[in-house]
Amino acid sequence: MSENTPAAAATPETAPAEKRDFIRQIVREDLASGKHTAIKTRFPPEPNGYLHIGHAKSICLNFGIAGEFGGVCNLRFDDTNPAREDPEYVAAIQDDVRWLGFQWNELRHASDYFEAYYLGAQKLIREGKAYVCDLSAEEVRAYRGTLTEPGRPSPYRERSVEENLDLFARMRAGEFADGTRTLRARIDMASGNINLRDPAIYRIKHVEHQNTGNAWPIYPMYDYAHALGDALEGITHSLCTLEFEDHRPLYDWCVDNVDFAHDPALTQPLVDKGLPREAAKPRQIEFSRLNINYTVMSKRKLMALVTEQLVDGWDDPRMPTLQGLRRRGYTPAAMRLFAERVGISKQNSLIDFSVLEGALREDLDSAAPRRMAVIEPLKLVLGNLPEGHEEMLTFSNHPKDAAFGERQVPFSRELWIEREDFAEVPPKGWKRLVPGGEVRLRGAGIARVDEVVKNEAGEIVELRGWLDPESRPGMEGANRKVKGTIHWVSARHAVEAEIRLYDRLFSVPDPDDEADGKSYRDYLNPESRRVVTGYVEPAAASAAPEQSFQFERTGYFVADRRDHTADTPVFNRSVTLRDTWAG
């Protein structure tokens, strides 16, 4: 599918159950009434950081609605603050959207529209709806008033149209220093909505822009640029999170008063650049943002984790960034399932981290082939097998799906087993190896431990035992009762692997809680990353980067996206088999 291919609607044969939420109901009503004949949405990230799991909800909603209703969705970068933006983030965001399984109709930038935004601002000035203000940022705050007191008009509010046009042109020409002047919308300083108390719509910033260079020493403010960008692209439904609800009157004011749809001269610069003229009036609709426990979502805090080297970068598998979740082994299907389960509502709520982990387990249970790996190895020598014994055993790749096929697993006299699968003094209810006790070796037969070998420090270094030759699966000897089954890998054939055991980054549900003078830094989980050297069967070592497996009895793991090779395998634990945090 090309990047210009509209989001595809599901066919009747493949369509899932119809999704029902208040936004989709609005879309259905707008189509039924004839208000819109085609749906157009957009995902408008700022390229000033990496996307996190909260953005995944918005991506799935915007692209999902476009696909479900036969419409299209644009990817538009809100690149109006070049001091904080970087092409690295632009590339990562595009990568994230594609990884989640979506393709945009058109790739746009707010900077594509800078000339049209400027012409729109001149129109507002000519109509007495905008003015150049010389108040400093501190003075603007003082004049703005409070929730219970109206604001005071700026002493520059009554400048003439001619003076405002002249000053704005000189701002555009780069004549004034940063922060000395702004262009403000002239709305209502007594409004009960503080966002309507003459908000700034342009500020001076002598900063080079990654797309426009030094062409613009002034940049539009978010509320102005976002609203007009939606209008210029013909967006029908502008979906955003609840914190923008109080900004909606300003959004509508900008769209209505610039009114691109009825003033073709304002959009002529777009036509000259080869962009279509499709101005319309979009509708902003707000939904609850995603809040998940054991996590921080603030870009500032995520940036601090990286810059203070509290994590290993933006794609650290413990980070809630999409790059981090991908490296952890989360799949696009699991992310889409999680977004679906979280749902769309007007009520803010806190989602438990286990819901995210549950979505991944559900996806990988059916999608991940099985392999055997030993994470903390202990050697088991089967003394009744001859020296040099080796053979190949046939294993299914997935116990619930024969379509995954089978593989050959090498078996030999010396095995690695999990250290935790042996207890010299077993606790009550123990069902694994003990001295003199029997256990099933997965797919190989019934084994017994006869001798425990220790080093001078008294640590167990080796087990020696016996394999019942008549107990292979399908043999009569396999039918006797044995309490437990354990996995293993052949010591001669297994491949040494670096295994990174990841867990939640924070040890408390609300790391943003700053009670008792603590910060999120104080709640970092010291057990969130543990690296061990283990052994994997050859069929796991040869995996491609980002290939996921269930390591039997251990958890779901993924071959690391960056570091894994067949010669030096590196596996990240994506999620345990069961929720270890439930309590």
Contact predicate 371/497, CB 8 Å: no
Packing angle between helix 114-126 and helix 248-258, nearest 10 degrees?
Answer: 80
> Does 19 belong to an annotated binding site?
no
The answer to whether the annotation marks 299 as part of a ligand binding site is yes
Is 211 annotated as a binding-site member? Answer: no
Catalytic-residue membership of 46: yes
81 is in an annotated binding site: no
Whether residue 123 is annotated as binding a ligand: the answer is no
Q: Has 399 been labeled as part of a binding site? A: no
**Is 298 within any annotated ligand binding site?**
yes
CA distance 407 to 397: 7
Give the CA angle between residues 36, 37, 39 to the nearest 5°: 70
Does 498 qualify as catalytic in the annotation?
no
* Contact assessment for residue 168 and residue 182, using Cβ atoms and an 8 Å cutoff: no
**Residue 129 known to bind ligand:** no
Whether 562 is catalytic: no
Instruction: For residue 354, say whether it is annotated as part of any ligand binding site.
Output: no
Instruction: State yes or no: 48 annotated in a binding site.
Output: yes
Report d(CA 302, CA 322) in Å as an integer.
12
| Residue listed under structure tokens 């999704």 | 19
User: CA-CA distance, 390 to 215, in Å (whole number)?
Assistant: 72
Is 503 marked as binding a ligand?
no
**Is residue 111 part of an annotated ligand binding site?**
no
Among 544, 555, 548, CA closest to 579: 555
Q: Is 487 marked as a binding-site residue?
A: no
Q: What are phi and psi for residue 437, nearest 5 degrees?
A: -95, 165
- Tell me the backbone φ, ψ of residue 125, rounded to 5 degrees: -65, -45
Please check if 402 is assigned to a binding site: no
- Which of the following is catalytic: 205, 289, 432, 492? 289
Q: Known binder of ligand: residue 39?
A: no
Q: Encoding tokens for residue 484?
A: 């437990």
List the catalytic residue out of 19, 299, 301, 553.
Answer: 299
In DSSP terms, 41 is beta-bridged to: 73
Q: Is 330 annotated as a binding residue?
A: no
DSSP class of residue 20?
-
Report CA-CA distances (Å) from 119 to 116, 231, 411.
Answer: 5, 14, 75
515: left (phi over 0), alpha (psi -120 to 50) or beta: beta
Is 164 marked as a binding-site residue?
no
**Tokens 């990884």 map to which residue?**
99
Answer yes or no: is 58 a known binding residue.
yes
Catalytic position from the list 46, 414, 462, 498: 46
Q: Where are the beta strands (DSSP E) in 474-579?
A: 485-486, 489-490, 495-502, 529-536, 548-551, 555-559, 570-576
What are the binding residues? 46-48, 52-58, 78, 222, 241, 289-290, 297-299
What are the binding residues for ATP? 46-48, 52-58, 241, 289-290, 297-299
What are the binding residues for L-glutamine? 78, 222
Would you please indicate which residues are annotated as catalytic (active-site) residues?
A: 46, 289, 299
